[in-house]
Structure 1
Amino acid sequence: MNADKVAIVGQIAKWKGQDIFIQAAKCLHQKYPELKFLIIGDVLFNKEEELNFKQTIIEEASGCAAIQFLGHQGNVRPLLNDIDILVHASVRPEPFGRVIIEGMAAKVPVIASGIGGPLEIIEHGLSGLLYQPGNVGGLVEAIEYLLTDKQGYQKIANQAYQRFQNKFTIEQTVSLVEKHIRLSVLKD
């Protein structure tokens, strides 16, 4: 597998796990010096806590040239088409990880924390990989699996895309909303 870019996309905030991503990047960089680790996003509300966390992770990443901060991007689709592995590293439950389905739609294998919304989106080992939230070693193992198992990588990319097509397209979402509206009207 000739993967060369692993990315995390989203708001920079402690609960989003960029620090976990950076720790995993540092571990993997020693073994895979050609890999680039992209942090795409920025703080949303300029709160002191978020700004301090951003400064902390910038300092933590400063010793590793393979880690790049790309900042806020208005449209991540071109970036998703240019990465090889997408990481969702939240350490607390989120209701739905939109970036996960964006990765699936771009045929990019996704590794996500096994907590909250990702548990409903990803079928572990089939349409993505799940790891214990906050577990740097688990994240490293998942990334390394996708780096070293070409068939596994391709299987997950293809099955994730199929799952996106079957469950998460706009048409599927509209159809489900319409169905629920019809059912609620019939109940009343």
Structure 2
Amino acid sequence: MQKRLKLYIKFVRWFTQEKFSTLNIRPRKVCQVVAPKQPAILQVLPALNSGGVERGTCEIAKTIVDRSWQSYVASTGGGLVNELEKSGTRHVRISTLKSHVLVFYSAWQLYKIIKQCNIDLVHARSRLPAWACYWASKWAKVPMVTTFHGAYGCQNHFKYFYNSVMVKGERVIAPSQFIVDHIKKTYKVPCSKIDLIYRGVDLEQFYPSAVSTHTIKLIRKKWQVQQGEMVFLLPGRFTAIKGHEILLRALAAFKDKNWKLILMGSWYGKEKYFEYIKKVIVDLDLESHVLIEPAQGAVQEAYAAADIVVCPSIKPESFGRTIAEAGAMAKPVITTNIGGGAEIVVSNETGWLVQPNSVDDLRKALGQAFKLEPERLGEIGKAAEERIRKKFTLTAMQSKTIKLYESVLKV
């Protein structure tokens, strides 16, 4: 078996033309001897582009560095690598982490990193890399933890087996009670192995006065918002599960009222759906009410310029970072009563919860919002902000994750 594995690795090396030296690990600069009681943590994910998983990885990496521990991240690379390295984390590029065929080669590369860099704990954040982490941690005899980032579908036995790697670690992090329940029900994992750690909002970036009044006026002017118009914002990529069509059909009942809807997000790779949504806008005669904006870096400005944020997802999501960020900006949120997002909003107190895929239910919530005076909307927004500050902060997420690491490592 060992001989076959060596032949397989030899073939993969020839096929990919990737030697261990190309992993950008330089013993003098990266793989320094870890001081006593200073654990080395390796987080592994497919890539470091934009997204909730990637952002969470960077946030935890910074916490590890701030604690004077050794922080490593392995991925295929991406736009967040520079930010990660500036914070003091060592990034290791493994080009095969997205390849199912080369999963054992990825595991071998991770094993080498674990041994050369004296890694104490591996944190897997996605299913395919988790398989590589599983084998590498077994070979190196170091513990592995995972973060269960989504309610992965189990349509057949193969999918169930493929997903099950996310519960093979010593501990499993769930970003919401919804995911905790999903893990227990689907994979029969005991509660003692699951840690509920809500994803958190960075309150240094998201707070009511983060954007100046002058900037808000400029944005609303750019959006062509008229005096007295209520501004709804639906932030998120253009994909059917985000519920764009449901919201448009619900708002079509209020053509006689003063409102503007901002659909903000990327449609890259979803051009067909994007064109369909534009057709729905025309068919419903909503061109004067709806504005489409591409995704932007400073999403705080969009939250600040909106009156209400709407997230009418038709499928449950593991958390709901957008919902939490909007709440931190003191904005009422209308969202569906499914998934992790439903744990963030308290209906009729910090926003409204509606049934998924229901135009009628969403229309009722919008009707209630239209009836409210600005002062009352402000009170709901303030309540939303207070709830985020109590339960969904970045500092809480970071602190609980470090405590979990310490528990596993017994330090």
CA gap 1:3/1:146 in 2 versus in 1, 3 angstroms:
farther
**Structure 1: which 5+ residue stretches go unaligned?**
none
| TM-score under structure 1 length normalisation | 0.87
Q: RCO greater where, 1 or 2, for CA within 8 Å and sep 6 or more?
A: 1
CA distance in 2, matches of 1:169, 1:149: 29
Cα distance change of structure 1 residues 182 and 120 upon mapping to structure 2, 3 Å threshold = farther
Deviation, structure 1 residue 180: 2.7
CA RMSD between the two structures: 1.8
Task: Check conservation: 1:43, 1:51, Cα contact below 8 A.
Answer: yes
Question: What is the CA-CA distance between 1:173 and the residue it aligns to?
Answer: 1.6
Partner SS for 1:134: coil
Q: Is the 8 A contact 2:251 2:366 kept in 1?
A: no
List structure 1 runs of 4+ shifted beyond 6 angstroms. Answer: none
The answer for the alignment partner of 1:159 in structure 2 is: 383
Query: Which of 291, 294, 298 is the equivalent residue of 1:75?
Result: 298
Q: Is the 8 A contact 1:146 1:152 kept in 2?
A: no
Q: Bigger shift: 13-22 or 148-157?
A: 148-157
2:325 to 91, 98, 102: 102
1:17 maps onto 2:17 in alignment: no
- 2:308 paired residue among 70, 74, 85: 85
User: 2:396 is matched with which residue: 150, 155, 172?
Assistant: 172
Contact in 1 for aligned 2:326/2:333 (Cα 8 Å)? yes
Q: C-alpha separation between the residues in 2 aligned to 1:138 and 1:181?
A: 43
Q: Which runs of 5+ in 2 are unaligned?
A: 1-227
**TM-score, normalised to structure 2's length?**
0.42
**Which of 1 and 2 has greater Rg?**
2
Aligned to 2:362: 139
Task: Report the 3-state secondary structure (helix = DSSP H, G, I; strand = E; otherwise coil) of the residue aligned with 1:81.
Answer: helix
Which residue identity lines up with residue 54 of structure 1 in the other structure?
F
- Which residue number in structure 1 is paired with residue 252 of structure 2? 26
Aligned to 2:102: none
Equivalent residue for 1:41, pick from 265, 278, 301: 265
Q: Distance in 1 between matches of 2:401 and 2:292?
A: 38
Identity %: 26
Q: Output the CA distance in 2 between the equivalents of 1:153 and 1:141.
A: 16
Once the two structures are TM-superposed, the CA of residue 125 in structure 1 deviates from its matched residue by: 2.1
Q: 2:367 and 2:241 mapped to 1: Cα distance?
A: 24
Using the alignment, how far apart are the partners of 2:378 and 2:298 within structure 1? 25
Cα-to-partner distance string for 1:103-140 (whole Å, 9 max, x where unaligned): 10111100001111112212222222110001112112
Count of residues in Structure 1 that have an aligned counterpart in Structure 2: 180
Task: Work out whether residues 112 and 131 of structure 1, in 8 Å CA contact, stay in contact via their aligned partners in 2.
Answer: yes
